[in-house]
Amino acid sequence: METLHSKKITKATSTSATQQIIDIAEVKEDTVVLKNGSFRAILTVSAINYDLKSSDEQEAIINQYQNFLNSLDFPTQIIISSRKINMDKYLDFLETKEKSQPNELLRLQISEYRNFISELISVSNIMDKNFYIVVPFAPLENTEAGFFSKMFTIFNPRKGILQKRENFETYRSQLYQRVDHITASLSGIGVRVIPLKTQEIIELLYNSYNPQVFTPTDLADISKLDLKNQLN
């Protein structure tokens, strides 16, 4: 299975800086470039309520998904991200609306709804689930490179990638041919697939590598960001 990072991350000590163990060299033009020169696109995928479908619809979904899997001639990674939703701002919003509502009946309904939400979050966590597909592409040149070229890439990953910058558009085009195939195949099942933009990828990576400080972050202009520092 293709992954976004190597297995060494799970074995790293707590004193290791994140930027030293992640395999990501840079993110540009909606594409993740790894230190070994391979590429990744990240797609956000909508969900469908399978249980609400009729038996015929469920069978059709299974058959179409099976056909989709059989059509793949490259590996993919499916990621499910679960985050606890902070409802405080929403409750404050409801309280403000309740106080400003002149209609007594509507004010009562807002109050009851706000109390219901408060009781609900007191007994269970409200979770937000997001689904992603990671699509890989590895240029053949990386597997056929000579010894000195490989050593240069290992010790100077960024310079190695910069040397091949003229090939970036070609490789990215081939990567997004795979993205188009996945998008078309899953659309037939009723699933909406959207490739993440550069800013969205950076935010996803930042929040994934820094779960202890996760907040809905509005990052600055990406042209002013240093990805390595953001992931540290």
pLDDT by residue (tens digit) across 43-92?
999 988 889 999 999 999 999 999 999 999 999 999 998 888 888 888 99
- CA–CA dist 181, 81 (Å, integer): 23
Q: What sign has the CA pseudo-torsion 219, 222, 225, 228?
A: positive
Q: What is the pLDDT of residue 232?
A: 44
Task: For residue 169, name the pLDDT band (cuts at 50, 70, 90).
Answer: confident
| Bridge partners of residue 134, in order along the sequence | 42, 77
The residue among 43 and 225 whose pLDDT is bigger is 43
Joined tokens for residue 124: 């269970």
Looking at the chain, the number of H-run helices and the number of E-run strands are 10, 6
End-to-end CA distance of the chain: 26
pLDDT value for 147 = 54
Question: How deeply is 11 buried, as exposed, middle or buried, from its count of CB atoms within 10 A (0-12, 13-18, 19+)?
Answer: exposed
pLDDT averaged over every residue in the chain: 79
Amino acid 13: pLDDT: 43
> What is the pLDDT at residue 168?
87
% of the chain residues with pLDDT over 70: 71
- Give the tokens for residue 203: 């935010």
Q: What is the pTM of this model?
A: 0.67
Please give the DSSP secondary-structure letter assigned to residue 108: H
pLDDT for residue 149 is more than 60: no
Structural contact between residues 134 and 3, judged by C-beta atoms closer than 8 angstroms: yes
Interatomic CA distance for residues 194 and 42, integer angstroms = 9
Single-letter amino acid code for the residue at 194: I
pLDDT-wise least confident of 127-131, 164-168, 189-193, 195-199: 164-168
Q: What gap in Å lies between CA 208 and CA 202, rounded to an integer?
A: 10
pLDDT at 136: 96
Burial 64-74 (b: 16+ CB within 10 A, else e): beeebeeeeee
- 8 A C-beta contact, residue 201 and residue 195: no
Give the Cα separation of 230 and 40 in Å (integer).
Answer: 19
Token pair, residue 26, equals 């840079």
pLDDT recorded at residue 129: 87
Q: What is the model's pLDDT at position 2?
A: 53
The predicted pLDDT at position 200 comes to: 94
Calpha distance 158→169 (Å, rounded) = 17
**CA–CA dist 76, 193 (Å, integer):** 14
pLDDT value of residue 192: 93
